[in-house]
Structure 1
Amino acid sequence: MLKGIYYDPVNVTLVNKSNTTTYIGNYVIPNFYQGFRKTAKKDDSVDVDKEVAKRAVLDNGTALFRVDLATAVRFRGIFGTTKRHRIMAGADVEVNDRGTRVDQKNVKLSQATRVCGLVVRWEFC
């Protein structure tokens, strides 16, 4: 029976989608524990290189950025904790010339990883 999840530091990286070698920003969420059937919300912002972001804006006034997330998790159960399972996921985010998302729906990172019969999903607002 699952009692909770231990998260290693979560590394969030932003790059220009048209040129994935163009680094825009990075943020590390410190490690944390998420109890069984509990929600863990981490609200913060990322400092980005505004000049790189401005250069990425296309003629139509939008830019496409890639958000990637990487971490490792350990599951806590009644018999102890499991070994670390690496998780990497990402999504494309379209941003207008004012720096706000074009689509106001939550960003859902794809490549959800199935670990121990559970699907780990990430969602950013």
Structure 2
Amino acid sequence: MAGDDAADCRRCCCSFIFTSGLTALFMWLSLRTCKPTCSIENFYVPSLNTTDNSSAARNNHTLYFDLKLKNGMKDKAVYYANINLTFFYTQNTSRIPVANYTVPGFHQGHEKKAHRKELVGASGLPWEAALHAVSNGSTVSFRVDLATRVKYKILFWYTKRESLVVTGDVAVDDSGGKVKKKKGIKLKSGAPDPARVGPVFVFSLTMILFLYKY
């Protein structure tokens, strides 16, 4: 009789632990966040378009870009602080800073995409050398660095802001545009992205293994 009571108590405790573990796991999954993805969908340098030999084109020292920002989360909004973009021209192994641009911060809803299509003036770029390179069938490279801080809205509260720093290289040919016409250039973090295993998940897994053992 006492053995049956002990067995019932053990089953009750195991059931409680299992339910608590699953509840904690589901809460962690619902609260975890994923950083938005950033990409350069279009990039155009009028001065490097060899099909337009007008003086207006040659003296047009601007960069056109189409920045795409995507929030892939189904139930969380993203708030961007000002987005700082820095453009570099790659020459041999060195990078020459040629332009800066700031995209004003904004709110992005669940599973939403946003485009920021802008023109920015470039200075310090070796235009003649770049034009000579593309005219001879080569490509030239521009690096785009993006830095901002984001916070997320989960139900009725906001998370703390966290840094978002990504970068990417854009190859430009004699059309003045990026080589991959139909495919965006995804901006990526230079640091490795470790697997995000939260303590709640570890706790839940431990409880499940405990229940399986008994």
Provide TM-score, normalisation by structure 1: 0.76
Identity %: 33
Matched, 1:29 2:126: no
Identify which of 166, 184, 187 aligns with 1:106. 184
Inter-CA distance 53–33: structure 2 relative to 1 (3 Å threshold): farther
Matches within 5 A, 1:36-115: 36-49=110-123, 52-55=125-128, 57=130, 58=133, 60-104=137-181, 105-111=183-189
Q: How far is 1:56 from its partner? A: 5.3
Inter-CA distance 30–91: structure 2 relative to 1 (3 Å threshold): same
Identify which of 77, 96, 115 aligns with 1:4. 77
List, as ranges, runs of 4+ consecutive aligned residues in structure 1 with deviation greater than 3 Å.
58-61
Moved more, 98-107 or 32-41: 98-107
Larger radius of gyration: 2
Q: Which runs of 5+ in 2 are unaligned?
A: 1-29, 31-74, 197-214
Inter-CA distance 53–110: structure 2 relative to 1 (3 Å threshold): farther
Aligned to 1:120: none
Q: Which has the higher helix share?
A: 2
Preserved CA contact (<8 Å) 1:7 1:71: yes
Preserved CA contact (<8 Å) 1:4 1:76: yes
SS at the partner of 2:122? coil
Q: How far is 1:85 from its partner? A: 0.7
Provide TM-score, normalisation by structure 2: 0.47
Q: Which has the higher strand share?
A: 1
CA offset digits 1:21-57 (Å, max 9, x no partner): x2111111000000112222222222222x6151552
Preserved CA contact (<8 Å) 1:24 1:53: no
Two-structure CA RMSD over aligned residues (Å): 2.4
CA offset digits 1:2-31 (Å, max 9, x no partner): 4311000111111122322x2111111000
Equivalent pairs, count: 113
